[in-house]
Amino acid sequence: MLIVVRFFSCLSMGISRIFSKHPGSIFQAKFIAFLLSLLLVILIVYHEALVTPLNSDAQLLSYRNRFVIQPGMWKKFWISGFFDGAQTGTEFVQVSGYYRPVTNMLFWFIYRLSADAPFLYNLAQQLIHWLNAGLIFLIATSLFSAPFLAAALSAALFAIHPINAFAATNPAALSDVLFLFMYLCSFLVYSRTILFLKGRSFMAGIAASLILFTLSVLSKEMGVTLPALLVLLHLYWFQTSKVPIKQAIWTTPFWAVCSLYFVWRFSVLELPEHSLGYTDVYSPLVVYLNLFKHLPIYLSRILLPHGADYPELVPAFINFVDEKLTSPLIYLSLALLCVLLLSIVILRNRHPFQAFLIAWFLITFSPVLAVNKISGSLGLNVIIAQERWVYLPGIGLFLLLGHMGYRLYHRTKSNQPARWIMVAGILILYAQLGHMAAIHASNVESWYAILRQYYLIPEEKLSRLDRVNKLILYSNLVALPMGHQEIAEARSRQAVDLAPDSPIAALALANALAAAGKWDQVVKELSAWMSPSKDWILEKHKTNFRVIDDLHRSHGAIAYLLGRALAYTGKGKLAVSALCKALNRHVNRQAIAAALHEVYALNGPSQCIHAENPTECVAALPEPNIKEWEKFLDSNLCETWHDLLGEQF
């Protein structure tokens, strides 16, 4: 509680110092009006995301996390990995390699208010994103003396740019928005402390900034870049305001906190690390030279947003690993890096502000080179480049773009028609960005977009698991909805042949078989994946490093479909046992109730299993007793479902 009080008092101090630079209430009124307008814009742009159900990662961090659900278990967050409390429904745990206890604590707090309802999680995500945009405005005006319009352009660009759509709307990225909030608060408080405070107030400001920095690092590891950014800030001050460079000594406590964090995280806790395995397949030289291709990829997405789904529409900007180092993009990336470094040197005297912002981008971009520690790709042929990874680095570019927009606007001061054209152009541009961001937020995990991407990429560029995914998606999204059951089954069998080590391929084939009424074959395909032994999974892991994660994502659907298949093959008691597991694996309760009705109709007194058309027989049979039937949705009773059904099967 003391930390929370200190945090808000420090934030109030920083804002009050900012306002003290702008006498009177005019600036404050404009600032508050801008903030409220920006909040309204964000809520309008992302309103559909407010009611979007949480994805699997967000569920495992919130209402499917035993440390969150049990009030007294929050202490575990401080000695455990990010996903260690996840209730996956299996005995297998996917090691994330992340340590983010402050983010875990926020999930714990929201759960106390919202349980499993998604609205508050989504709203909190958007509100923190909005606060981050407001902090960018404050940094621009108070630290860099940017005009109001320049700061507003930068903050609004950050708020509605499509590249930030995932971070702004998906609670699975709560760590991204939360760490940045603490990061920017620390940066702002430190800068105001160094420039304006003295004596005991000075020491209090440094302490407050350190607390915020620590909270940032404990929200996401990328916060460790702040000490380097503060050193850069001192160089900027020395260049522009002749602030003594010896003041940089006050960054020492921040470096000390970093050291303590690394000792605590890697030596004391000894949490298991995760490696994607790029360096196991390729030489370090190949990996790191290919990693530099992220530079033009991210810059293109920020500066040239081709559309709401531009990563899918421009497959040339997917970072395929070039083992032979012949890709021109590698050398273009190195040349671009040299240009950026050279521009910092050239601009540092005449245009130090622009030089500082370019350096901001490069310094905060550097953790992306540790991508080998991150899980998430289907195969090792691609180095993943997720948009939320430039949530912090992009700020330097957004501030620069806002400054450039203001300069262009200022040049039209003496030409009123040109000024109105400029204003109209800016409004149209921002409206288009907001429109693309809204679409991108709804499509960021769209399987249709992913399927389209696979068809845009040459087959030889796809890894084995990519090809499997392409076959599965076509089967589920195209063939089955169109009633082409034979095509769906054929493509799903190809997927299983390519990846017998994937539960998702087995589930896809089972779905196609179920659509054709081949229930005995469904049982055959899914039984092995229902409750696999640890040794069996570890054997599959040798060829499919994603098998545990895939099992987490599919084990509920496997139990549900297997339960239905067992009912259609006359094994009623086994069917309700499988559906009980499906309920505990968080399958939709309405789907479970419908499946239980199938079990009762097929295996109970009506014996629909022996009917000429079992499906029509099931549809015609009413539910047995509505009040009694509601008990089936209680997971604590599901082990006795066959008793509640009257021992009829």
Nearest to 645 by CA among 585, 595, 609: 595
Query: Is residue 477 predicted with pLDDT exceeding 90?
Result: yes
pLDDT value of residue 255: 97
Task: Locate 62 and state its tokens.
Answer: 């919130």
Count of CA atoms in the C-beta half-sphere (13 A) of 258: 13
CA separation for the pair 587, 80 (Å, rounded): 27
Q: Which SS3 state, helix, strand or coil, does residue 242 take?
A: coil
Q: Which residues pair with 609 in a beta bridge?
A: none
CA separation for the pair 83, 95 (Å, rounded): 8
Task: Locate 633 and state its tokens.
Answer: 């949705």
Q: Which SS3 state, helix, strand or coil, does residue 603 take?
A: helix
pLDDT value of residue 94: 63
- In contact, 344 and 359? CB cutoff 8 Å: yes
pLDDT value of residue 412: 83
Assigned CATH class of 452-644: mainly alpha
pLDDT value of residue 104: 97
Task: Locate 126 and state its tokens.
Answer: 């958007």
Nearest to 559 by CA among 602, 515, 591: 591
Query: Is residue 101 predicted with pLDDT exceeding 70?
Result: yes
CA separation for the pair 380, 383 (Å, rounded): 7
**Averaged pLDDT for residues 138-160:** 93
Percent of the chain with pLDDT over 90: 53
* 120 or 312, greater pLDDT: 120
Least confident of 219-223, 273-277, 457-461, 625-629: 625-629
Nearest to 90 by CA among 128, 122, 60, 117: 60
CA 19 to chain centre: 35
- In contact, 461 and 381? CB cutoff 8 Å: yes
pLDDT value of residue 143: 84
CA separation for the pair 573, 566 (Å, rounded): 9
The DSSP string of 343-386 is: HHHHHHHH-HHHHHHHHHHHHHHGGGGGGGG----SSTTB----
Q: Per-domain residue ranges for the chain?
A: 2-21+29-87+97-443, 452-644
275: left (phi over 0), alpha (psi -120 to 50) or beta: beta
Angle between helices 547-568 and 534-541 (to 10 degrees): 130
User: What does the DSSP 8-state code read for residue 629?
Assistant: H
Q: What is the tens place of the pLDDT at every residue in 410-450? A: 888 778 888 888 889 999 999 999 998 998 887 766 788 78
Nearest to 103 by CA among 87, 81, 127: 81
Q: What is the tens place of the pLDDT at every residue in 150-204? A: 999 999 999 999 999 999 999 999 999 999 999 999 999 999 999 988 889 999 9
Give the confidence band of 527 by pLDDT, cuts at 50, 70, 90: very high
Spatial CB neighbours of 594, under 8 Å, sequence gap ≥ 6: none
Query: Is residue 6 predicted with pLDDT exceeding 90?
Result: no
Least confident of 180-194, 345-359, 387-401, 566-580: 566-580
CA separation for the pair 71, 83 (Å, rounded): 17
CA separation for the pair 276, 278 (Å, rounded): 6
Spatial CB neighbours of 110, under 8 Å, sequence gap ≥ 6: 62, 120, 121, 124
pLDDT value of residue 18: 44
Give the confidence band of 14 by pLDDT, cuts at 50, 70, 90: very low
Task: Locate 327 and state its tokens.
Answer: 């890709």
- In contact, 190 and 237? CB cutoff 8 Å: no
CA separation for the pair 86, 450 (Å, rounded): 27
pLDDT value of residue 624: 60
Which of 27-31, 76-80, 144-148 shows the highest mean pLDDT?
A: 76-80
**Is the full-model pTM beyond 0.95?**
no
